[in-house]
Amino acid sequence: MKGQSSRVRAMPCWRVTLVGILFASAPLTANGIQPRPVSEELQTLPSIDCLEARLKDPNANCDDIIPQDGRTVRVIFNMSQVAPRSASHNQSASSEESVIVRFSMNETNGQETSVRDISLFNFPNYKAPACRNNNAPVCDPYGFLSVTEGKNLSLELEKLRAQHLVICEDLISEPIDQRHLQPFYVGVAIAQANGAELSLSTLRQYGHLILSEWNMDEAYAANGQLMRCPNQALLLIVPDRSQVVLVTDSCRYVCEEKGAAASQVVTSSLHRGSVADAVLAGVRSVYDSLPLSVPQGEAMPPLAVEAPASPESNAETWVLFVQRAVFAFAVMALGFSLLVGLLVMCFAPGLAKGHRGYISRHEALN
């Protein structure tokens, strides 16, 4: 028994060597199946903030996204003259300097934003407590409006939205309901510009950033939607510099260029009266410039049918008439010529037989 047990326990040297090689090569085999990422590959992966930003907007440019104070996100846009720069910085920086601009302005994670930290670069969402807006698309963090003036503005905006419903065309080729009514939203952002004076084009860029962040039409469309009715506009007012811009989603209802009348109304009102009067005048001017709107509760107007152009006003009608007359004359001339040829073929031989010259030539031949 002892000999048998010793023979069972013994292992040949070649088998021991094979097992040792197998255990030694196991890590190499595992690395070949699933290699570990190096540090350079880990750095190229998008951050969590970038993924959250792309969930809101698939076209978000968040390659250089960086968190700010743990409560917000900033994205680097390649826009010149957006942020005010000092004189020394202007000398060293080029005109195509990348500027850090807030991407998600409403994510504060429960932390209140101080008024000292608010500027055009990180203007808050109108739902933030710092806006003092009474649940209206208005943001006045600096307190240019009193409590009573803010309530009056909120009530006026609500009334104007109910009186001005715009017709939204179908965006996805719906076969049944190809049109529907939605309120037209006009937001008001009252800001301050610190540092150098900003041009209107730069101020308009900030207005577009704020308008895209607010999404005032969230009750009708999802957050971060790509296809929706362009029924939003924003008045960005800088009272201490008397600068006003109107930004819109598109020219479907109100164009930014045509909305200069509202900006002029606000600017002139700022010179004559208070900020509240200027804001009310600008908002009413925007709603008055809507081409076609329907009050809430009324039926949608029918589709406008284009009237055919009258012959007197269409110059091409005369050209077409002349062409038809010439063609008719040519057809009649062709028919007349064919008729004459047919008559000649029918009556010419008989007429020739009775002619003297024909008779004499016929007798000579015979």
Percent of the chain topping pLDDT 90: 8
Which is more confident, 90 or 329?
329
**Other C-beta atoms lying within 10 Å of the C-beta of residue 196:** 13
Which residue type does 100 have?
Answer: I
What pLDDT sits at residue 49? 64
**Other C-beta atoms lying within 10 Å of the C-beta of residue 224:** 16
Which residue type does 356 have?
Answer: R
The rounded mean pLDDT for the chain is 70
Q: Which residues contact 278 (CB under 8 A, 6 or more apart)?
A: 237, 239, 265, 266, 267, 269, 270
What pLDDT sits at residue 27? 56
Q: pLDDT for 194-249, tens place per residue?
A: 766 778 888 888 888 888 888 787 666 555 555 578 888 999 988 888 888 899 88
Q: pLDDT for 5-53, tens place per residue?
A: 444 455 666 676 766 766 666 655 555 555 555 554 444 455 666 666 6
Q: pLDDT for 269-328, tens place per residue?
A: 888 888 888 989 899 988 988 887 878 777 777 666 555 555 555 667 888 888 999 999
pTM of the model: 0.54
Spell out a b/e string for 163-194, using b for 16 or more CB atoms within 10 Å of the CB, else e: ebbbbbeeeeeeeeeeeebbbbbbbbbbbebe
When pLDDT is averaged across residues 96-120 and rounded to a whole number, the result is 49
Domains and CATH numbers, the chain: 14-104 (no CATH), 126-288 (3.10.310.50)
- Rg of the chain over CA atoms, in angstroms? 41
347/351 Cα distance (integer angstroms): 6
What pLDDT sits at residue 105? 41
